[in-house]
Amino acid sequence: MNNVQYLLGLLCLCVVYIEKSSAITCYECNSAQDKRCIGDANNQLSDDLRKPCPEKKGDKPYTLCRKIKQVIDFEVNGLQPDSRVIRTCGYEDSQYQNRCYQRSGFGGRQEVCACQEDNCNSGSFIFASTSLIVSLLVLLRINIF
């Protein structure tokens, strides 16, 4: 095995995983106010819906993006039956990082998905990082494993 290839592979992994100093950028919208938030058939969202997240909410730093699908089944607390998509910034909730969960209660339900890459709340979540997949393919190609 060539040491230069090994070092190049390690350097690529380090560069990919160095944490950015700037805040994460997420799509921020609510389909109740802006129908573009739903996205089209390909989940394409307008670039002007992308927003840099604030650094913190209180003492918690924003570290992820969320997509919430919310369904109100019948009138409750003055809210009429409806369904909407909400895309927003979020802070770490270690129990649900990079996955989805469902909540339900009297009159409605929601699915909340969280992801940790810029603009990852655009549509369906692909949890395996593209950079990780490429890195692994490079390492496999140069026979490190």
CATH number of 128's domain? 2.10.60.10
pLDDT in tens, 37-50: 988 666 688 899 99
Average pLDDT over residues 4-27: 56
Give the pTM.
0.66
Give how many domains the chain has, as a whole number. Answer: 1
Q: In which domain, by residue range, is 75 found?
A: 3-15+24-141
Q: Does 19 score more than 60 pLDDT? A: no
Average pLDDT, the chain: 76
Average pLDDT over residues 71-81: 86
Strand ranges, E, within the chain:
25-27, 29-30, 50-52, 56-57, 60-72, 82-91, 100-105, 108-115
Give the pairing of strands 82-91 and 29-30: antiparallel
